[in-house]
Structure 1
């Protein structure tokens, strides 16, 4: 519970305005950490804070289900180097993740830009990396009808880099399905391609 002095200060700042709840939250946070929310550098910060949260969580990836007829079913398709930012749901701190997505085509091919759109769709929410790669794999399977799907994510988490141990590290998580989930030619080919990237 915030003390009365802070509550009075915040009430005086927003009194007479149609205050945005996210802006109020930002003001309250700034006051709680000892900042003067009326100083020049911080006057517009609550509005920017509110705008950023809404931009991030209301992200629209556009069309993600564009498919094309394949000329050869069973072909390995791999897209790598998809860079996304997300927010750790445990600390509300950002993490970045480099994604590699692979699948063996069934009857249709997914449009190239759709891989990144799907990745961003799942990154723009409170997340953990393990669920991020799993959600992406599920969408690829649902949209393409392919059962052989692999997603590899390598991320740096600021909740570890900026707090706690304060050491940077890369975390790798995977979601393998179908032929990629067991020892197979497809799995060997995937690993060979990933090593070569």
Structure 2
């Protein structure tokens, strides 16, 4: 399960006022790549593979490194700014690519995120919306929780009047095994504030995101 530690820090622009920042940190233990490689080697052996083969000689290290990358997210600062111009229309970033690991099968799921918010007192750089998606995607996840975590982070720290997050993803545990429904996408949503309460505002988000509902 992915969890996140938040640390409030301050930043002074040169000669300017303090700009609030939120530092997002994963609180998961660091990956022991060497131990993970040993475990992969044991797994290959248990699966009847010849771990002495030249072709598999470096596979345990590669697999361990790949999982370490998928499970690790570096810290970053979610810097917000005063909404001095009092912009009150929808801000939307569409089709942010993401990838994560299903916590039930350790197989990837990947897709796109549509993230929107109605500014209140503060706004955030558009690239930070994509960074929030990436941050919560790193780790063992289920799509429902991932959707809620992204929305909750933005709502809590932007003091937005509304937040909407929709994830569309293909799960390899569904397309490669089991029913083998290749190409099937799972859609999840988290709507908060006015984007949940006002049908017209909610419809505008879905229309701009290009999502049928």
TM-score after normalising by structure 1: 0.84
2:34 maps to which of 12, 15, 20: 20
Higher share of residues assigned helix: 1
1:77 and 2:91 matched: yes
Query: Displacement of 1:51 after TM fit?
Result: 1.7
Q: Distance in 1 between matches of 2:148 and 2:89?
A: 22
1:68 maps to which of 81, 103, 106: 81
1:189 and 2:204 matched: yes
Based on CA coordinates, which of the two structures has the bigger radius of gyration?
Answer: 1
What stretches of structure 2 of length at least 5 have no aligned partner?
Answer: 1-32
CA contact (8 A) 2:70 2:101 kept: no
Query: Displacement of 1:68 after TM fit?
Result: 2.4
How many residues align structurally?
178
* Residue 171 (structure 1) aligns with: 186
SS of structure 2 residue aligned to 1:177: strand
* Residue 129 (structure 1) aligns with: 143
* Residue 160 (structure 2) aligns with: 146
CA contact (8 A) 1:61 1:117 kept: no
Query: Displacement of 1:196 after TM fit?
Result: 7.9
Cα RMSD over matched residues? 1.8
Query: Displacement of 1:105 after TM fit?
Result: 0.3
Q: Distance in 2 between matches of 1:61 and 1:113?
A: 15
Query: Where do residues 25-36 of structure 1 align in structure 2 (5 Å cutoff)?
Result: 25-36=39-50
SS of structure 1 residue aligned to 2:210: helix
SS of structure 2 residue aligned to 1:90: coil
TM-score after normalising by structure 2: 0.78
CA contact (8 A) 1:61 1:118 kept: no
Higher share of residues assigned strand: 2
Stretches of 4+ moved more than 3 A in 1?
none
Q: Distance in 1 between matches of 2:141 and 2:207?
A: 29
